[in-house]
């Protein structure tokens, strides 16, 4: 499938990580990329999964997520429901367990 767009997650220390279709993001992805690593104890090992379909990025909170995930889009904050996919736009932020946040950008 040709997705035509590349998306990256921007961490609080300015580093980035390319998001590919099927990418599962959790605690280990944040190690060394946030100022306060003590906050990582609240992030699940496997918290969300990303999907790329027709050039659009989607996110789904996984059943293993323990402390919730929030999508911040256009000033609106929405708590994700497990098993439901949400569209993610460039500039949106994803908050993991009210502890750490990444910004999504298009490359």
Q: What is the pLDDT of residue 3?
A: 54
Among residues 57, 51, 55, which one has the least CA distance to residue 4? 55
Half-sphere exposure (CA, 13 Å, Cβ side) for 2?
1
Report how far residue 52's alpha carbon sits from residue 49's, in angstroms, rounded to the nearest whole number.
10
Strands 24-25 and 76-79: unpaired
| Phi and psi angles of residue 87, each rounded to the nearest 5 degrees, phi first | -75, 135
Tell me the pLDDT tens digit for each residue of 66-82: 999 999 999 999 999 99
The pLDDT tens digits for 27-39 are: 999 998 887 888 8
- What's the alpha-carbon Rg for the chain, to the nearest Å? 13
* pTM metric for this prediction: 0.90
């Amino acid at each position: 499938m040709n997705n035509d767009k590349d998306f990256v997650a921007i961490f609080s220390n300015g580093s980035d990580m390319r998001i590919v279709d099927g990418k599962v993001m959790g605690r280990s992805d944040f190690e060394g990329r946030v100022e306060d690593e003590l906050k990582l104890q609240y992030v699940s090992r496997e918290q969300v999964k990303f999907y790329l379909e027709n050039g659009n990025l989607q996110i789904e909170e996984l059943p293993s997520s323990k402390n919730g995930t929030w999508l911040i889009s256009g000033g609106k904050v929405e708590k994700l429901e497990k098993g439901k996919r949400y569209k993610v736009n460039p500039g949106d932020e994803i908050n993991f367990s009210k502890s750490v946040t990444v910004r999504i950008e298009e490359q």
